[in-house]
Amino acid sequence: MKQISIIVSFLIAIASFLIFQPQILGALNLASTHILATYTSYTDPATTSPEPDKVSPTEKKDKSSIESQENLISDDMSVPRAIRKVFLAVEQAEGAGARVRRSVGTPQLRNFSPFLMLDHFSIKPGAGFPDHPHRGQETITYLLQGAVDHEDFAGNRGTIGPGDLQFMTAGRGIMHAEMPAQNPDGSANVGLQLWVDLPKELKSCEPRYRDLRAAEIPQATVDDGKVTVKVISGQSHGIDSVKDLAYTPVWLLDVAVKPGGSITQALPKGWNAFAYVLEGSAFFGEGDARTKVDEFHNVVFEQDGEVVHVEVDASATKDARLVLIAGTPLDQPVIQYGPFVLNSKEEVYKAFSDYQTFSNGFERGRNWESEIGKSMKH
Q: Does residue 377 form part of some domain?
A: no
Q: Does residue 262 form part of some domain?
A: yes
Q: Does residue 195 form part of some domain?
A: yes
> What pLDDT, on the 0 to 100 scale, is given for residue 85?
97
Q: How many CA atoms lie within 13 A of 57 on its CB side?
A: 10
Q: Does residue 154 form part of some domain?
A: yes
Q: What is the pTM of this model?
A: 0.82
Residue 133's domain comprises 8-50+59-363
> What pLDDT, on the 0 to 100 scale, is given for residue 162?
96
Q: Are strands 148-152 and 174-180 parallel, antiparallel or unpaired?
A: antiparallel
> What pLDDT, on the 0 to 100 scale, is given for residue 42?
30
Contact in structure between 197 and 114 (CB atoms under 8 Å): yes
What are the beta bridge partners of residue 49? none
CATH classification of the domain holding 293 = 2.60.120.10
Q: For residue 185, count CB atoms less than 10 angstroms from its CB and return exposed for 0-12, middle for 13-18, buried for 19 or more.
A: exposed
> What pLDDT, on the 0 to 100 scale, is given for residue 182?
82
Number of other residues whose CB lies within 10 A of the CB of residue 225: 9
> What pLDDT, on the 0 to 100 scale, is given for residue 289?
94
> What pLDDT, on the 0 to 100 scale, is given for residue 19?
44
Contact in structure between 251 and 286 (CB atoms under 8 Å): no
Residues in the chain where the model's pLDDT stays below 70: 1-70, 74-75, 376-378
Of 321, 327, 373, 328, residue with least CA distance to 163: 321
Q: Does residue 178 form part of some domain?
A: yes
Q: Does residue 373 form part of some domain?
A: no
Residues 6+ apart with CB under 8 A from 193: 117, 118, 119, 121, 139, 140, 141, 142
Q: Does residue 2 form part of some domain?
A: no
> What pLDDT, on the 0 to 100 scale, is given for residue 75?
67
> What pLDDT, on the 0 to 100 scale, is given for residue 74?
67
Count of domains for the chain: 1
> What pLDDT, on the 0 to 100 scale, is given for residue 60?
39
CA–CA separation, 255 vs 30, rounded Å?
32
DSSP 12: H
Of 49, 64, 71, 59, residue with least CA distance to 249: 49
From residue 70, give the alpha-carbon distance in Å to each of 63, 176, 235, 265, 320: 9, 37, 10, 14, 29
Q: Does residue 376 form part of some domain?
A: no
Query: What sign results for the dihedral spanned by CA atoms 68, 73, 78, 80?
Result: positive
Of 358, 348, 294, 290, residue with least CA distance to 320: 294
